[in-house]
């Protein structure tokens, strides 16, 4: 048995979550529903204009790893924060779930701080993300522990992490170490505009290395530059062993072994859509590495996604195992 | 018209809120249901043992002021944080509501950080508070702006702030400036063990200066050293013009002008009891300074308290004005 079921690599950050009216987004120049990168002056200005906020650890792959750890999976995370208060919060919240998090903290002092994502949640539950990467963008090959990657059944790579220097090399190092140890590689495309920025790099690792691709409808259509969702999924399935593609309230699609399973979403009142894809991936990977079939993994993903969008914040609050049992995808002993 | 309806003075801090089982409290040496002061090593140790947390601005009087600001009241807050990330969060969350917060930040560097309260919420919704005062304990007379206090209809003094040096002098300065400007003085007893620590000091300002006393059942009985709740309220009413005393699910009592009004609580599923007393006081003071009668002020207090205990965190999330209208204590235009 390998030490880790999943090791995730991504942008480490704390979410700053606030409610906002639709009109506020337009007035503040925030594009709705996507992730936009911002610098520190913009972060300071935007923060000064938003309402009271709550701080909850975030980061896309970190949310995925938190979900796996919450489910009791053996998991680790790699991503950079600084030795500041937000960095301590981020590290605590992963470790408190039992995830291994050993990435060295960037030292105290002036300069960039721990990354944060100012998330504005509109009344429809949609989230508009404004990301100051801070220290997370300095993840470099030196931060990749080849021993750790070699002990992973799966590594999980966050597409957002392609923004910033050294990330491609760090991913290449992680992939090589993982594959050398007999592990497999999963990637999430993260965001349609992230795909726009890094399509060629994504394309290369998808073709060469990725065994499991996570995406949503907009991302996969952007990836394959088509308006035909099913054509995009088919194109992905031709390149990758397993494709898991979410489609919001229409549920998710799993394509593998020449088959296509559709899994319905769990109806929920959406409070905050943040983390839906992250928790889908976390539950899917937990199911996969616990020997569940792909359709069941997809159902687990949809259940976890429905939990995380029912409250503010992108980390699970309810007992996901109990929800799996309730929905009949896990036995009470399982 | 005075510039401020209410100016609050208290311990400025950010809450670190986590769920915990009853057994955890005993194992970690946390006394249930009260506020206990802890030092930094204890804060670090306890934090390392608790589950994932959410960070939401807190501080008892700051929650009260946040409630008044949320309702549209003209209000200001005095309390010390440091120029660190938690300090920035605290300042933002007050200012974002429209409250004036001008207390100078303690400079960056080594030494104490912004105060925080590790709040463990048990399945019954009770909160057990572990407070590292940090910079908040250094509030001194120099931080009291006599001009600001003189422009307040009411000042609101937090009993917790009696823990730590210089606080008595700071309060004396605030009281004098407020009374010189024709304002009135309110005080909250904060916690039964806080009353134990500072009974004589509380007694003196209650007799000499306080026009409106906020307390709960345990606090007022501790204050007057009796097991007879009604005797304790009567003793307080003999010393103070208005006594507003909460009694959890039994509602609240208002004693003034020789009368005693009982106000029922609003039935609610308790998620997190933190801030019930703080928001009671905030809504009561908002009602009072907007010309509502004392019984209505008590009803507003109970409505606001019921809102804040229905979710995690001690700041209002729902629209309190809308709730007042719904419960018939405010006209739709009001």
pLDDT in tens, B193-215: 999 999 999 999 999 999 999 99
CB-CB neighbors (< 8 A) of A52 in chain B = 57, 66, 92-93, 96-97, 315
Q: What is the pLDDT of residue A61?
A: 98
Structure tokens at A265: 């979403």
Place of tokens 């995730």: A8
Q: Indicate the burial class of A36 (C-beta count within 10 angstroms; 0-12, 13-18, 19 or more).
A: middle
Q: What is the pLDDT of residue B29?
A: 97
| DSSP code per residue over A240-278 | -SEEEEE-GGG-EEEEETTEEEEEPPPP---S--TTHHH
Using 50, 70 and 90 to split pLDDT, how confident is the model at A164?
A: confident
Q: How far is the C-alpha of B113 from the C-alpha of B138, rounded, in Å? A: 11
Query: Is the whole model's pTM more than 0.80, yes or no?
Result: yes
Q: Across the interface, do B52 and A85 touch by the CB < 8 Å criterion?
A: no
Q: Across the interface, do B54 and A53 touch by the CB < 8 Å criterion?
A: no
How many pairs of residues across A and B have Cβ atoms under 8 Å apart? 54
Other C-beta atoms closer than 10 Å to the C-beta of B293 total 12
User: In the predicted model, what is the mean pLDDT of residues B84-109?
Assistant: 96
Percentage, residues of chain A above pLDDT 70: 99
Residue of B52, B56, B114 lying closest to A54 (CB–CB): B56
Q: What is the pLDDT of residue A332?
A: 86
User: In the predicted model, what is the mean pLDDT of residues B305-321?
Assistant: 96
CB-CB neighbors (< 8 A) of B313 in chain A = 54
Q: What is the pLDDT of residue A165?
A: 73
Widest distance between CA atoms in chain B: 54
Q: How far is the C-alpha of B130 from the C-alpha of B112, rounded, in Å? A: 16
Other C-beta atoms closer than 10 Å to the C-beta of A241 total 13
CB-CB neighbors (< 8 A) of A84 in chain B = 84-85
Average pLDDT in chain A: 96
Is the pLDDT assigned to residue A75 strictly greater than 80? yes
Q: How far is the C-alpha of B183 from the C-alpha of B289, rounded, in Å? A: 11
Cα distance from A303 to chain B (closest Cα, Å)? 21
Tell me which DSSP letter residue B125 carries: S
Question: What three-state secondary structure class fits A269?
Answer: coil
* β-pair type (B4-9, B75-78): parallel
CA of A318: which chain B residue's CA is closest?
B19
Is B24 near chain A, with CB under 8 Å? no
- Give the angle A59-A60-A64 at the CA atoms, nearest 5°: 110
A58 near A134, Cβ under 8 Å? no
Q: Across the interface, do B53 and A89 touch by the CB < 8 Å criterion?
A: yes
A214 near A186, Cβ under 8 Å? yes
A157 near A174, Cβ under 8 Å? yes
Q: What is the pLDDT of residue A334?
A: 61
B94 near B75, Cβ under 8 Å? no
| Angle, helix B294-308 to helix B276-289, in steps of 10 degrees | 150
Cα distance from B67 to chain A (closest Cα, Å)? 12
User: In the predicted model, what is the mean pLDDT of residues B43-68?
Assistant: 98
Q: Identify the helix (H) or strand (E) that includes residue B236.
A: helix B229-239
Other C-beta atoms closer than 10 Å to the C-beta of B119 total 29
Using 50, 70 and 90 to split pLDDT, how confident is the model at B334?
A: low
pLDDT digit string, tens, across residues B223-269: 999 999 999 999 999 999 999 999 999 999 999 999 999 999 999 99
Q: Chain A 113-132, CB below 8 Å of chain B: which residues?
A: 113-114
Using 50, 70 and 90 to split pLDDT, how confident is the model at A97?
A: very high
Question: What three-state secondary structure class fits B188?
Answer: strand
Q: How far is the C-alpha of B134 from the C-alpha of B115, rounded, in Å? A: 4
Question: What three-state secondary structure class fits B37?
Answer: strand
CB-CB neighbors (< 8 A) of A319 in chain B = none
The span from the first CA to the last CA of chain B, in angstroms, equals 18
B179 near B7, Cβ under 8 Å? no
Q: What is the pLDDT of residue B109?
A: 81
Q: Across the interface, do A52 and B113 touch by the CB < 8 Å criterion?
A: no
Q: Across the interface, do A92 and B66 touch by the CB < 8 Å criterion?
A: no
Is the pLDDT assigned to residue B163 strictly greater than 90? no
CB-CB neighbors (< 8 A) of A47 in chain B = 92
User: In the predicted model, what is the mean pLDDT of residues B28-41?
Assistant: 96
Return all residues near A144 (Cβ < 8 A) that are at least 6 apart: A9, A78, A170, A173, A174, A177
Q: What is the pLDDT of residue A252?
A: 98
User: Could you give the strand order of the β-sheet that contains A13-19, starting from the edge strand earlier in sequence?
Assistant: A35-37, A127-132, A115-121, A13-19, A54-57, B54-58, B13-19, B115-121, B127-132, B35-37
Q: Measuring CA to CA, how many Å separate B197 from each of A213, A266, B58, B159, B222?
A: 61, 53, 22, 10, 10
Q: Among residues A207, A148, A208, A150, which one has the least CA distance to residue A182?
A: A150
Q: What is the 3-state secondary structure (H, E, C) of A202-245?
A: HHHHHHHCCCEEEEEHHHHHHHCCCCCHHHHHHHHHHHCCEEEE
Residue of B51, B114, B313 lying closest to A96 (CB–CB): B51
User: In the predicted model, what is the mean pLDDT of residues A116-132?
Assistant: 97
Q: How far is the C-alpha of B297 from the C-alpha of B193, rounded, in Å? A: 27
Q: What is the pLDDT of residue A287?
A: 98
Q: How far is the C-alpha of B292 from the C-alpha of B298, rounded, in Å? A: 10
Average pLDDT in chain B: 96
Domain residue spans of chain B: 4-324
Q: A185: which strand partners?
A: A155
Radius of gyration of chain A (CA): 18
Is A246 near chain B, with CB under 8 Å? no
CATH class for the region spanning B4-324: alpha beta
Q: Among residues A181, A182, A196, which one has the least CA distance to residue A34?
A: A196
Q: Identify the helix (H) or strand (E) that includes residue A176.
A: helix A167-180
Other C-beta atoms closer than 10 Å to the C-beta of B208 total 11
Q: Across the interface, do B96 and A55 touch by the CB < 8 Å criterion?
A: no
User: In the predicted model, what is the mean pLDDT of residues B90-106?
Assistant: 97
Residue of A47, A84, A96 lying closest to B52 (CB–CB): A96
CATH H-level superfamily of A4-326: Ribokinase (3.40.1190.20)
pLDDT digit string, tens, across residues A41-67: 999 999 999 999 999 999 999 999 999
């Amino acid at each position: 048995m390998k030490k880790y079921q999943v090791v995730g690599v991504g942008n480490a950050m704390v979410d700053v979550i606030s409610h906002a009216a639709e009109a506020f987004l337009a007035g503040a120049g925030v594009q709705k529903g996507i992730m936009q990168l911002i610098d520190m002056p913009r972060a300071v200005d935007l923060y000064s204009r938003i309402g009271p906020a709550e701080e909850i650890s975030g980061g896309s792959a970190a949310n995925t790893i938190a979900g796996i750890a919450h489910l009791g999976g053996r998991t680790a995370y790699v991503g950079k924060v600084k030795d500041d208060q937000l960095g301590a919060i981020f590290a605590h919240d992963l470790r408190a779930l039992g995830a291994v998090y050993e990435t060295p903290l960037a030292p105290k002092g002036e300069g960039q701080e721990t990354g944060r994502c100012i998330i504005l949640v509109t009344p429809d539950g949609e989230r508009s993300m404004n990301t100051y990467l801070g220290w997370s963008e300095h993840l470099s090959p030196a931060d990749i522990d080849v021993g750790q990657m070699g002990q992973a059944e799966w590594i999980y790579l966050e597409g957002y992490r392609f923004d910033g220097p050294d990330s491609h090399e760090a991913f290449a190092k992680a992939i090589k170490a993982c594959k050398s140890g007999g592990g497999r590689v999963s990637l999430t495309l993260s965001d349609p505009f992230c795909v726009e920025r890094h399509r060629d790099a994504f394309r290369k690792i998808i073709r060469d290395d990725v065994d499991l691709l996570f995406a949503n409808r907009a991302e996969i259509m952007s990836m394959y530059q088509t308006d035909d969702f099913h054509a995009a999924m088919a194109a992905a399935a031709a390149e990758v062993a397993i494709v898991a593609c979410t489609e919001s309230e229409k549920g998710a699609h799993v394509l593998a072994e020449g088959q296509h399973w559709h899994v319905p979403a769990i109806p929920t009142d959406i409070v905050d859509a943040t983390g839906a894809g992250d928790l889908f991936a976390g539950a899917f990977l937990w199911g996969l590495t616990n020997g569940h079939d792909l359709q069941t993994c997809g159902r687990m993903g949809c259940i976890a996604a429905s939990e995380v969008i029912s409250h503010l914040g992108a980390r699970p609050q309810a007992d996901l195992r109990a929800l799996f049992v309730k929905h009949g995808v896990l036995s009470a002993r399982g």
